[in-house]
Amino acid sequence: MKVIAINGSPRKKWNTAMMLEHALQGAASQGADTDLIHLYDLDFKGCTSCFACKLKGGASYGRCAMRDGLTPVLDAIAEADALLLGSPIYFGTVTGEMRSFMERLFFPYLTYTKPPQSLFGRKIATAFIYTMNVPEAMVEEISYDVHFGLNEGVLARMFGQSESLYAYATLQFEDYSKMVFEYFDPAERLERRKTVFPEDCRKAFELGVRMVGGGSSDGG
């Protein structure tokens, strides 16, 4: 079984990447072959609306016709058994790199039919891991939950099933004393890094287990 994780963060060793790594460790513990791809390593663009993926009888019907650094990633996902996405939240949504990736991933599989359908052709497990600066209590207040729900819905429609995992009030800097940062308490963030983030990583591990059919967990 092949599980592919996509890191939409520019940082390869920080919150999002760490949680993705733990999820892949969980998948590997169930015998899966895993791969972590960092979007910021790739040279690619978002959808250019060429519509080649919608052309009747076209050579690229159902797949992205663009050829760039994302092409081999999309080809690998087409053969994968599970897909895991991860991104920090910037201004209420995923990173620009992740959004461009999602356009290229989703649009070729979407049919303009009544009702719309997916050309992916089979069901695979998918999930989205989000890391964010805001505390959980603010998520609904500033409508982050709307964005999360939209992404989960699209993943489910394209691939058959999806779930989401969230890490709130994450550590942004190693040394807050060097930064202008007054909105939240740096000492509280450092304490959460020691006490809460390990639990977030445990939940990510269990998510990876579930994605390859290893059963449910009590971690939520």
User: Which pLDDT belongs to residue 214?
Assistant: 57
Task: Give the DSSP per-residue string, 5-69.
Answer: EEE-SS-SSSHHHHHHHHHHHHHHTTT-EEEEEEGGGS---------GGG-TT-TTTTS----ST
CATH 3.40.190.290 fits 2-211, yes or no: no
CA 23 to chain centre: 12
Q: How far is Cα 184 from Cα 189, in angstroms, rounded to an integer?
A: 8
**Over the chain, what is the mean pLDDT?**
91
Q: Residue for token digits 């939520």? A: 220
What predicted TM-score, i.e. pTM, was given to this entire model?
A: 0.90
Q: Is the pLDDT of residue 163 over 80?
A: yes
How is the chain split into domains, by residue range? 2-211
Tens digits of per-residue pLDDT, 167-178? 998 978 777 777
Higher-pLDDT residue of 214 and 46 is 46
Q: H or E stretch including 99?
A: helix 96-106
